[in-house]
């Protein structure tokens, strides 16, 4: 299953957004255009649907309250609206549609409250809140049905799907020194601190098979690397990754992850995530710390992984190398353009002059990225003086 369409109103810096999504999506735009905010919608829905202590109130609170997530550009219609369409495969008819409208209580604790919550299955609406129970007890509108197992049995597939959404923004330092930060790990571990635990929890056969695929990729990307393995520290029992590098001194020995390079760690995290499950994967700027030669191979790598397991991948990026791959289709690229009225989002293939250049054989990187450079950027040169 994948998210084939998303519609937003008043979500952070998007007043309005309506996007068709493919198996791979590349979100591009200048700094502060809203790339991370767009990825955050999927995490927000996951946080609502989470079975262990999720829910609407917590998801909103973690983001600083309704006033932080509602678009500052919103004037008369202060409702935050999110709608997703789920389909079995891209271009298939929709299986599910889920939509919610959220507002802030006008009195009291100013908590988030639902203006509506609706679900469609195969085109037929099967949930329409507020219902008569909600009207007689408005407190009920502080919880979605998505977060309650006793109310969502007819559409359980939606919360199940959302629960397994993964967000990866791997910070090598946090992974490397994970044990010194123990107790400070963020919930859902977006920065990869618990990455080694995840590898450790994986059943041994699957773990071996994934690590051997990663090892093969690393041998190409990291010239001296020869072998990669998982091990536990004999004394502390802590999980570790170890790599054998070819070295001028024979038997120089295995190195553990605290000695891996930033790029090696990020690549391991990225490849592991691609192999991990078949739900939506959100990748935040995967190009960071990687050599541009490797970055230019990421898009085809994601494509190849998707042939084995149908994992939808949404990537935010600034990288020309990543977008230089000729296999990227204009329908897979979402271009964000900020303005005073909020950011607008367009699928690159739907912009006529972009399409003309793509058809003429230019790559997405060549055509789309120049449009994300802020006007007046040359003024940064004054820092030279």
Residues that bind ligand ATP (CB under 6 A): 12-13, 29, 31-37, 68-72
Each as own residue / partner, the long-range contacts of residues 174-179 (CB below 8 Å, 24 or more positions apart, any chain) are 175/257, 175/265, 175/269, 176/257, 176/258, 176/260, 176/265, 177/258, 179/238
Counting Cα atoms < 13 Å in the Cβ hemisphere of 49 gives 22
Instruction: Name which of Mg ion, ligand ATP, none residue 33 binds, using a CB cut-off of 5 to 8 Å depending on partner kind.
Output: ligand ATP
Of 31-39, 65-73, 269-277, 320-328, the window that binds Mg ion (rule: CB under 5 A) is 31-39
Q: Which residues of 160-183 are buried (b: 16+ CB within 10 A; e: fewer)?
A: ebbbebbbbbbbbebbbebeeeee
Sign of CA dihedral 29, 34, 39, 41: negative
Name the minimum Å distance from CB 67 to ligand ATP: 8
Name the minimum Å distance from CB 283 to ligand ATP: 13
Of 29-37, 55-63, 234-242, 340-348, the window that binds Mg ion (rule: CB under 5 A) is 29-37
Instruction: Name which of Mg ion, ligand ATP, none residue 326 binds, using a CB cut-off of 5 to 8 Å depending on partner kind.
Output: none
Name the minimum Å distance from CB 17 to ligand ATP: 12
* Rounded distance between C-alpha atoms, residue 208 and residue 221, angstroms: 20
Looking at beta carbons only, is 35 or 43 nearer to Mg ion? 35
From the number of C-beta atoms within 10 Å of its C-beta (0-12, 13-18, 19+), residue 373 rates as exposed
Give the x/- contact pattern for Mg ion in 292-321, rule: CB under 5 A. ------------------------------
Looking at beta carbons only, is 228 or 335 nearer to ligand ATP? 335
* Rounded distance between C-alpha atoms, residue 257 and residue 268, angstroms: 10
Instruction: Decide: is 185 part of the binding site for Mg ion (CB under 5 A).
Output: no
Please select the residue that binds Mg ion; options are 7, 16, 36, 157, rule is CB under 5 A: 36
Looking at beta carbons only, is 66 or 268 nearer to ligand ATP? 66
Name the minimum Å distance from CB 365 to Mg ion: 18
Residue showing tokens 């960071």? 288
Closest residue (Cβ) to Mg ion?
A: 36
Looking at beta carbons only, is 43 or 129 nearer to Mg ion? 43
Instruction: Name which of ligand ATP, Mg ion, none residue 32 binds, using a CB cut-off of 5 to 8 Å depending on partner kind.
Output: ligand ATP
* Rounded distance between C-alpha atoms, residue 264 and residue 163, angstroms: 29
Instruction: Name which of Mg ion, ligand ATP, none residue 266 binds, using a CB cut-off of 5 to 8 Å depending on partner kind.
Output: none
Name the minimum Å distance from CB 31 to Mg ion: 8
Name the minimum Å distance from CB 376 to ligand ATP: 17
3-class SS of residue 282? strand
**H or E element: which one contains 166?**
strand 166-168
Q: Residue 166 region, left (φ>0) first, then alpha (ψ -120 to 50), else beta? A: beta
Asked if 83 and 68 touch (Cβ cutoff 8 Å), the reply is no
Residue of 355, 380, 314, 370 lying closest to 84 (CA atoms): 314
Instruction: Name which of Mg ion, ligand ATP, none residue 129 binds, using a CB cut-off of 5 to 8 Å depending on partner kind.
Output: none
Name the minimum Å distance from CB 35 to Mg ion: 5
Alpha carbon 341 to chain centroid, angstroms: 25
Name the minimum Å distance from CB 40 to ligand ATP: 7
Which residues contact Mg ion by CB under 5 A? 35-36
């Amino acid at each position: 299953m994948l998210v084939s369409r998303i519609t937003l109103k008043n979500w952070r810096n998007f007043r309005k957004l309506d996007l068709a999504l493919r198996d791979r999506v590349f979100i591009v735009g200048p700094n502060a255009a809203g790339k991370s905010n767009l990825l955050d919608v999927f995490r927000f829905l996951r946080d609502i649907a989470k079975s262990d202590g999720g829910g609407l109130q917590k998801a909103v609170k973690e983001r600083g309250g309704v006033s932080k997530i509602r678009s500052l550009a919103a004037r008369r219609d202060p409702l935050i609206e999110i709608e997703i369409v789920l389909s079995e495969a891209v271009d298939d008819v929709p299986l599910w549609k889920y939509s919610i409208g959220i507002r802030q209580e006008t009195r009291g604790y100013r908590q988030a409250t639902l203006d509506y919550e609706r679900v469609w299955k195969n085109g037929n609406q099967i949930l329409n809140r507020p219902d008569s129970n909600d009207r007689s007890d408005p407190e009920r509108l502080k919880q979605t049905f998505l977060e309650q197992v006793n109310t969502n049995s007819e559409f359980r597939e939606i919360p199940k799907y959302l629960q397994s959404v993964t967000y990866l923004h791997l910070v090598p330092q946090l992974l490397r020194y994970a044990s010194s930060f123990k107790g400070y790990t963020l919930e859902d571990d977006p920065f990869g601190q618990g990455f080694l635990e995840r590898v450790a929890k994986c059943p041994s056969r699957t773990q071996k098979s994934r690590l051997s695929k990663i090892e093969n990729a690393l041998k190409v990307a990291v010239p001296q690397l020869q072998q990669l393995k998982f091990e536990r520290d004999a004394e502390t029992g802590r999980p570790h990754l170890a790599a054998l590098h070819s070295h001028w001194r024979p038997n120089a020995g295995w190195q553990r992850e605290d000695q891996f390079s930033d790029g090696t760690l990020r690549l391991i995290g990225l490849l592991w995530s691609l192999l991990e499950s078949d739900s939506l994967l959100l990748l935040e700027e995967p190009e960071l710390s990687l050599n541009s030669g490797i970055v230019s191979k990421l898009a085809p790598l994601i494509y190849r992984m998707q042939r084995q397991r149908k994992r939808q991948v949404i990537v935010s990026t600034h990288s020309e190398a990543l977008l230089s791959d000729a296999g990227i289709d204009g329908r897979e690229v979402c271009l964000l353009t900020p303005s005073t009225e909020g950011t607008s989002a367009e699928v690159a293939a739907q912009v006529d002059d972009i399409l003309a250049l793509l058809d003429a054989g230019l790559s997405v990187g060549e055509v789309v990225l120049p449009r994300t450079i802020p006007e007046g950027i040359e003024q940064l040169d004054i820092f030279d003086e």
